[in-house]
Amino acid sequence: MLNDFYTSTRELTPLTLGVIVQYDPHGNPNACILEEENEYDVTDSPTKVIDDACSYFGSSLRGRQDGTRNICGITHKAPISIDPMSGMYYFPTYSPTSSKCSWIAHSHIDKVNKREGQHTEIIFKNNRSVILEASYGSVLNQVQRTAQFRFLLDKRIRYLLKHSPEQVAEPFA
């Protein structure tokens, strides 16, 4: 079923690079979902796309943000784990309530470059790039905060797997 989901919809997968804000002719925020080799335009905002992805994995954006706060104390522009088992960690470029907010997949970032004004270029590991309307310092901070969050969450998951293997639920059928 999971493969059906990934191949039959334009939802987020471990191959998604980011969910980038773009605007329709009326100025409403829409999303461009960047994949390793494709991109898809959707009429939802990037934050709605992220919330839907969290829902697919049994939570919500708010739930994931609360989890981040509980793990490492980050309360504003919190990075989230949509699904830690598949490495789907994202950070927002602005407050998720802002119409300027895009979401970037942490694991796909290769480089972050400063551009003129309040713009930043993100170069992904596959050499695709995107220029965001966000300050270089802010994006670098988000990359570092996401790395710290990933480390702490991974540490918790490894501890649980190491210390209670006999309590693991039945495998998927």
Q: Is residue 172 part of a domain?
A: no
- pLDDT single digits (tens) 19-36: 999 999 999 999 999 999
Q: Is residue 173 part of a domain?
A: no
Contact predicate 109/34, CB 8 Å: no
Question: Pick from 32, 27, 29: which is nearest to 10 by CA?
Answer: 32
pLDDT at 168 over 70: no
Task: List pLDDT tens digits, range 133-154.
Answer: 999 999 999 999 999 999 999 9
| Owning domain of residue 9 | 2-167
- Does 163 fall in a domain? yes
Q: What is the pTM of this model?
A: 0.88
Please state the domain count of the chain. 1
Furthest-apart CA pair in the chain: how many Å? 56
Within a domain: residue 103? yes
